[in-house]
């Protein structure tokens, strides 16, 4: 089959690779009908993620049709249309019982490697390094999905791929990002980053009762989307001093009640990571620590890898800030958020700006990384 493979920094290629096979009785094989590129894929593209190997198949946002089933799978039959969460979870350990699916104890076959890097083993993720399981991703014609009865959900015929696909990651991620900010009825919520995760965090903040949502970025098309579609107030700069001054002005000197970092490692200026940004970007998390109200809540859905310099911990400590973060506990959110889509409370397809073929994926990565041509989200079809 054809699949998008990692070949090093800023080098992804469509290769011919072996078709996936059932390896465990709880596996299913999916014929991918739609897949997307995520901001997290850009960390791999920028070579910030350790333990990648040449030839690894990328992609963790995908959906499709069930074409093969392991003997123990009960939830599905051939031909079912499913969307697959990016976290792989066993459904049986203490963490899964507690709905902390991305911390699953059993789904990562490379437990030791993960432990070496993180101190503990966390769940496996599709297409996201060997320390996170070495699972082949979904930017491919076919993909093997382990623990099928725990992860994927059936998609009703009434919904298109474009309406359902983002349940695989960015809608739940934006939602958990907003939930982790402990938004109370009437709160002012500030969100750094108007990429796909930021856009869904804005939508979710409204759902959770925010009174005001302020979105911060520097890219026009993304700010326009945040303002026009998602009804946020916007700050059109990422200059640290200007953002702080503006937020103080907007909140009468108090600062936002809740702050969400939907930027992640990018703000730390990995070279070549975003051609529109200077090498040493102001650090979004540092801005958050400084701007958030005293005793306020900070949620970090943005992905970080390795070590981060220049974080003002003294500010966070002395202001008694509350911090929550993590890979999304996807399985916890799928059913309730699918219900919101079915009820028409949100149509996640608003985020799509580009539709391309899987064979054009290398070009699509460039476009998305460089934010060219108004690109906010690319959907690829095999
Ligand atoms: P993206 O790269 O498309 O968007 C990031 C946005 O941040 C860009 O629009 C960029 O211009 C903006 N930005 C950069 N520096 C900034 C600053 N200092 N202040 C304000 N904005 C700034 O990525 P995305 O797909 O929206 O993902 C956002 C983050 O969420 C990434 O780090 C991604 O890895 C992470 N993510 C986390 C999870 C999870 O499970 N926690 C899941 C998916 C994605
Ligand atoms: Zn993603």
Supply the mean pLDDT for the chain: 94
Residue 278 clears pLDDT 90, i.e. is over it: no
The mean pLDDT of 235-248, rounded to a whole number, is: 94
Ligand nearest to the CA of 200: 1
Partner residues linked to 379 by β-bridges = 36, 355
Q: Ligand 1 pocket, 216 CB below 6 A?
A: yes
Could you give the CA distance from residue 119 to residue 110 in angstroms, rounded to a whole number?
13
CA of 276 to the centre of ligand 1 (A): 14
pLDDT score at 169: 98
**Which residue has its alpha carbon closest to ligand 1 atom 3?**
195
Q: How confident is the model at residue 307 (pLDDT cuts 50, 70, 90)?
A: confident
Query: Which two tokens mark 108?
Result: 């990562």
Check: complex ipTM more than 0.95: yes
Residue 309 clears pLDDT 80, i.e. is over it: no
**Which residue has its alpha carbon closest to ligand 1 atom 23?**
39
Q: How confident is the model at residue 310 (pLDDT cuts 50, 70, 90)?
A: confident
Residue 146 clears pLDDT 90, i.e. is over it: yes
pLDDT score at 312: 87
Q: Ligand 1 pocket, 197 CB below 6 A?
A: yes
Residue 306 clears pLDDT 80, i.e. is over it: no
Torsion of CA 54, 363, 141, 30, to 10 degrees: 90
pLDDT score at 319: 98
Domains of the chain as residue ranges with CATH: 2-169+328-381 (3.90.180.10), 174-325 (3.40.50.720)
Q: Which of 97-101, 148-152, 255-259, 273-277 has the lowest mean pLDDT?
A: 273-277
pLDDT score at 308: 73
Could you give the CA distance from residue 72 to residue 74 in angstroms, rounded to a whole number?
6
Q: CA 294 from chain center: how many Å?
A: 28
Question: What is the phi/psi pair of residue 41, to 5°?
Answer: -65, -30
CA of 246 to the centre of ligand 2 (A): 30
Q: Ligand 1 pocket, 134 CB below 6 A?
A: no
């Amino acid at each position: 089959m054809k699949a998008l493979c990692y070949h090093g920094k800023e080098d992804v290629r469509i290769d011919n690779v072996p078709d996936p096979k059932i390896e465990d009785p709880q596996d299913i094989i999916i014929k991918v009908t739609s897949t997307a590129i995520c901001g997290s894929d850009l960390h791999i593209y920028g070579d910030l993620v350790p333990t990648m190997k040449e030839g690894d198949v990328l992609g963790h946002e995908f959906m499709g049709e069930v074409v093969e089933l392991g003997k123990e799978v009960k939830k599905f039959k051939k031909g079912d249309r499913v969307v697959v969460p990016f976290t792989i979870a066993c459904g049986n350990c203490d963490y899964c019982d507690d709905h902390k699916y991305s911390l699953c104890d059993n789904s990562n076959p490379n437990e030791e490697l993960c432990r070496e890097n993180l101190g503990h083993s966390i769940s496996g993720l599709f297409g996201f390094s060997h320390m996170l399981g070495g699972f082949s991703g979904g930017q491919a014609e076919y993909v093997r999905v382990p623990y099928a009865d725990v992860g994927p959900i059936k998609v009703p015929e009434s919904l298109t791929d474009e309406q359902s696909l983002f349940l695989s990651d960015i809608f739940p991620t934006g939602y958990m990002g907003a939930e982790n900010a402990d938004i109370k009825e009437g709160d002012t919520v500030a969100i750094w980053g108007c990429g796909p995760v930021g856009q869904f965090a804005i939508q979710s903040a409204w759902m959770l009762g925010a009174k005001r949502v302020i979105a911060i970025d520097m890219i026009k098309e993304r700010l326009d989307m945040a303002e026009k579609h998602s009804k946020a107030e916007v700050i059109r700069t990422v200059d640290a001093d200007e953002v702080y001054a503006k937020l103080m002005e907007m909140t009468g000197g108090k600062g936002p009640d809740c702050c969400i970092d939907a930027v992640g490692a990018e703000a730390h200026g990995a070279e070549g990571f975003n051609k529109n940004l200077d090498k040493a970007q102001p650090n979004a998390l540092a801005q958050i620590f400084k701007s958030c109200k005293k005793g306020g809540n900070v949620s970090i859905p943005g992905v970080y890898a390795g070590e981060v310099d220049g974080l003002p911990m003294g500010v966070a400590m002395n202001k008694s800030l509350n911090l929550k973060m993590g890979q999304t506990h996807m399985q916890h959110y799928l059913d309730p958020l699918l219900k919101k889509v079915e009820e028409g409370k949100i149509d996640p397809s608003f985020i799509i700006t580009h539709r391309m073929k899987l064979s054009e994926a290398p070009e699509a990565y460039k476009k998305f990384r460089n934010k060219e041509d108004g690109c906010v989200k690319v959907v690829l079809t095999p």
